[in-house]
Amino acid sequence: MNRRETGMEKNIIDVLARRASVRAYDKERPLPQGVLEKLLTAAMQAPTTGNMQLYSVIITDSTDGKERLKQLHFGQPMAADCAALLTFCADVHRFGRWCAARKAQSGLDNGGGMLMAMEDAVIFAQQFVTLAEAEGLGTCYLGTVPYNIEAFAKELNLPSGVMPLFSVAVGYPAGERPAPSDRLPLEAVMHHEKYRRPAADDIDAWYSAKEALPESVRFIAENGKETLAQVYADVRYPRAQNEKIAADLVPFFFC
Ligand SMILES: Cc1cc2nc3c(=O)[nH]c(=O)nc-3n(C[C@H](O)[C@H](O)[C@H](O)COP(=O)(O)O)c2cc1C
């Protein structure tokens, strides 16, 4: 029996089944020396497009630095309360510099390159998050970077071709870990051979548990809406906001 067939595989499934985003951190408990380097080194073994590693990560662990990034993250407290805030970036700059130094011209400064770099950065980041959780740390993504992308680039001194995507807060949880949050049933996301368009009854069945959660009922009331979908579509992720992000992102990457 090899290692994959022993407890190792089960452990990671257990870690993921219990996982939940941590937004409250123990401010008195720093990370052990070298743990970020250990986890990031392991995370770099994640698959990457053509083994180009089209990503970078900026670690912010000074009190001042975290406080400045917290402001850019619309004041989310965990940005300053965590032990370290890691901002993951899609990066075609380093690869372009290598090409230029080796009599080659990078062909990645376009939409195709942007897609590859985003894929690489997301896979790297999530590999790190899984490892951090397995190490007993808490983590939470902060997706508020694209709303303030120029300010993040300035604060983190990013050259062109380096696009910050999100930050990840890392640290020891303060108190109890949150309970895992709800997910759709597997049948809602898993298809065999061909995509099966959901019937109206499927949508009702798959989303009803989420809609019945006390926090969903509260969101609907607080926002004066009729349905949870309206809260998502009109309040949390409205079209105009997403179109502004798209309009800012593309020129940012290519300038
Ligand atoms: C790309 C991305 C951006 C996110 N941004 C935020 C954020 O800005 N603030 C926050 O509190 N949670 C953020 N989250 C966490 C999600 O809200 C959370 O993962 C989701 O509600 C499911 O909960 P769970 O992680 O506890 O299972 C983000 C997650 C992802 C993947």
Q: How far is the CA of 100 from the centre of ligand 1 (A)?
A: 38
In this structure, the residue with its CA closest to atom 8 of ligand 1 is 142
In this structure, the residue with its CA closest to atom 2 of ligand 1 is 143
Range of the domain at 157: 3-179
Q: How many domains are contained in the chain? A: 2
- Residue 39 shares a structural domain with residue 90: yes
Domain assignment present for residue 56? The answer is: yes
- Residue 130 shares a structural domain with residue 65: yes
- Residue 100 shares a structural domain with residue 201: no
The structure's pTM equals 0.95
Ligand 1 pocket residue status of 21, Cβ below 6 Å: yes
Ligand 1 pocket residue status of 23, Cβ below 6 Å: yes
- Residue 159 shares a structural domain with residue 101: yes
In this structure, the residue with its CA closest to atom 1 of ligand 1 is 143
- Residue 173 shares a structural domain with residue 225: no
Name the average pLDDT for the chain.
Answer: 95
- Residue 166 shares a structural domain with residue 214: no
Domain assignment present for residue 75? The answer is: yes
Domain assignment present for residue 254? The answer is: no
User: What are the tokens at 92?
Assistant: 């075609």
Q: How far is the CA of 141 from the centre of ligand 1 (A)?
A: 5
State the 10-residue block means of pLDDT for the chain, 255 residues long.
51 92 97 98 98 98 98 98 98 98 96 96 98 97 96 97 98 96 98 98 98 97 98 97 90 73
> The domain spanning residue 155 has which CATH number?
3.40.109.10
Q: How far is the CA of 186 from the centre of ligand 1 (A)?
A: 20
- pLDDT score at 229: 98
Domain assignment present for residue 253? The answer is: no
- Residue 140 shares a structural domain with residue 85: yes
pLDDT, tens digit, for every residue of 145-190?
A: 999 999 999 999 999 999 999 999 999 999 999 999 999 999 999 9
- pLDDT score at 10: 62
Domain assignment present for residue 244? The answer is: no
